[in-house]
Amino acid sequence: MAAKKESKSKKNSLLIVESPTKVKAIKKFLGAGYEVAASNGHVRDLPRSSMGIDIEHDYEPKYITIRGKGDVLAQLRKQVRKADKVYLATDPDREGEAISWHLCSALKLNESGAKVSRVTFNEITKNAVKEAMKHPRDIDMNLVDAQQARRVLDRMVGYEISPILWSKIKRGLSAGRVQSVALRIIADREAEIDSFIPTEYWTLDVKLLPEGEKKPLVAHYYGADGEKKEIASREELEKIMSDLKGASFAISDVKKGERSKKAPLPFTTSTLQQEASKSLNFSTQKTMRIAQQLYEGIELGKEGTVGLITYLRTDSTRVSDEAVSAAADYIKNNFGDEYLAEGTASKKNAGKIQDAHEAIRPTYIDRTPVLVKDFLSRDQFRLYQLIWRRFMASRMASARYETTSVKIDAGKHRFTVAASKTVFDGFLNVYTDEDDQIEKNVLMKNLDTTTKLIFEEFESAQHLTQPSPHYTEASLVHDLEALGIGRPSTYAPTISTIMARHYITKENRALYITELGQAVNKMMLDAFPQIVDVNFTSNMEALLDGIAEGSVKWKTVIENFYPDLDEAVTAAEAELEKVQVQDEVTDEVCEICGRNLVIKYGPHGKFLACPGFPECKNTKPYFEKIGVACPKCGKDIVLKRTKKGRIFYGCIDNPNCDFMTWQRPVEKKCPECGGMMYAKSNKLACGNPECGHVEEKEKT
């Protein structure tokens, strides 16, 4: 009986993680004496029904249990009562630290009698988990406060500004501290593209046959009198070709050299999202979802659940000594000593690096993509292969090229040829991206200044300068990181939010602002310029980093931010009271009930609706005339939207007339050629590339 009583009173250790997926694997690593449970993410948050921040009492947040988490907490409380030690093993970042802190409060762990410790591991492997258990610590309140500050700031912006958007534009819209800046960045790029005026330039190549060879050499025009020169017009091109008529071409210089291309750094969250977007066509959200699966663990047959990659939210390129050693052994055994990098490269970053984390890498380098392919979905395999190859490449030697540059003179004019040949592939053996050059224009070996050249023909082409490209998810993430806006964990949800709100749309990878997005961005710029100021947002991120480091008090940041926000909101509300915001009534009559239809905003922009809703639910597309006649049929050009909400201009008589343009046409015709003119910011430009007429727009 005594033995039974002793067994009943014996207590276990309880380890709490965020995701249920991790439970089975970690339980296996820790063995008997440990129970493992999951919180399923956050258990407490600010209420949805109110701001949830006590402005009058030191900006104290009012946390409540998240709906649906009551049963999870009840189950965890039962397990806490049976434990004499509780380990909080939520994710190793600010968010995870805050979840541990909330669990402490919600489960009343400090009153439970159990010893409470925080443990973190960067990968779900036996060694990493066992090692983490040897180094328990207290909850880092600096990290918790940094997360609280971010949450409170975001709630203040969303709760205070969103109602203004509802009043001014339409219900259901939202503003966000980071999302509004991201929207502005996209809007600014679109404005830059719309106002861009292309300029003409020409290229001139010459085909020359080296004596005794069958394949001609293609040389590019460099300039005259030893100076580089761009060919700006057809007239300049014809003058050069006239000068070269009958001229002899001779090689004046041949230089050989060598250049190297360094191996890429291992992935951070940002670079993984960018590369997965470019090479796999994954959205940032999809990349993070699949990376989470690879991190939490994949069932590998008899091996059970295994975490395949390290933690996915990091901006560090640091790699553990064990991983460096394992990669070095693999490279020597599978490629040879010459493929191993001599030193270790690292990313230089003036901003804050979360160096407690490693770069994103495979947990076991010997677990190659081919070995685990049968256990992964197609998308999981492709992302894991990308991560494995990138990490392997980061440990490998540089690629080396032999370069040859040739100068060819004809009178005062000079042409050049450049060629390269790989002499050692290095890291390119396992990893290439679209930026890696492909060998071209391989030259004959014995080309020198004595080689005679026979003229074959000229090849010329007209070109127009191009504006900056539309943002893609990859390039937007790159710029957000470069500008210091957001953090690794915020890029994907920020882009997903502004896409879900129909502020932007994606077509063939490119991001475009919608009419609704333009309206929201304009209102934010007019009423809350500080919120959408890039420098202000970047400085705020630096302050949040300061809180995490313990050098800034989080309440100080909040109390300095809120009064300015409140003042801007009050001013915007006063402005709204002056203007009675009503739906714009049109002359078009509802064919069902006879009322005049009004203009409303939908997810993709404006549409016509009956004011008799809900009795009459009639709606129609809204074609906004711009006062310009179609150049093909003479009918009205109207503003239209693609199915995804991108704005363009087309003939109202579609499908009978197929005229369309992305640029806004104007009524005035080009004085030079009579062609259609387009609005470009403060200028008007002719749409005919042969003409190129540009003039100042009249101020209205």
Residue 249 backbone dihedrals phi, psi, to 5 degrees: -105, 130
Contacts of 552 (CB under 8 A, 6+ apart): 543, 546
For 351-369, b where at least 16 C-beta lie within 10 A, e where not — what string? ebbbeebbbbbbbbbebbb
Tell me which residue of 476, 471, 510, 522 sits closest to 644, measured CA to CA.
510
Distance between CA atoms of 211 and 679, rounded to whole angstroms?
A: 54
DSSP alpha helices (H): ranges in 528-553? 534-549
CB atoms closer than 10 angstroms to residue 459:
12
Sign of CA dihedral 176, 143, 270, 364: negative
- Give the C-alpha separation, 120 to 93, whole Å: 9
Enumerate residues 6+ apart whose C-beta is below 8 A from 154: 176, 177, 178
Cross-strand bridge partners of residue 309: 362
What phi, psi does 75 have (nearest 5°)?
-65, -40
Q: Which of 159, 221, 295, 311 does the annotation list as catalytic?
A: 311
Please report where in the chains the tokens 């996915």 appear, as a residue.
312
CA distance 317 to 67: 38
| 3-class DSSP assignment, residue 678 | strand
C-alpha torsion sign, points 495, 498, 504, 505: positive
Contact indicator for 298, 306 with CB cutoff of 8 Å: yes
CB of 487 closer than 8 Å to CB of 315:
yes
Residues facing 65 on adjacent strands: 44
The residue whose two tokens read 């093993």 is 89
Contacts with 165 (C-beta within 8 Å, 6 or more apart), sequence order? 173, 174, 175, 520, 523
What end-to-end distance do the CA atoms of the chain give, in Å? 97
How many residues make up the chain in this entry? 700
Long-range contacts of 666-671, Cβ-Cβ distance < 8 Å, separation of 24 or more: 666/628, 667/627, 667/628, 667/629, 671/695
Tokens of 346: 């690292």
CB of 219 within 8 A of CB of 417?
A: yes
Give the DSSP H or E segment for 101: helix 94-106
Of the candidates 391, 392, 394, the one whose C-alpha atom is nearest the C-alpha of residue 343 is: 394
The two structure tokens encoding residue 562: 């809120």
> Do the beta carbons of residue 462 and residue 200 sit within 8 Å?
yes
Contacts of 63 (CB under 8 A, 6+ apart): 44, 45, 46, 52, 102, 105
Say whether 311 is catalytic.
yes
DSSP 8-state code for residue 150:
H
Which residues touch 404 (CB under 8 Å, ≥6 apart)?
254, 255, 256, 257, 417, 418, 419, 420, 421, 443, 447
Distance CA 221, CA 229 (A): 9
Phi, psi angle pair for 251, to nearest 5°: -75, 120
DSSP 558-571: HHHHHHHHHHHHHH
- Residues 6 or more apart in contact with residue 127 via CB below 8 angstroms: none
Q: Which residues are catalytic?
A: 311
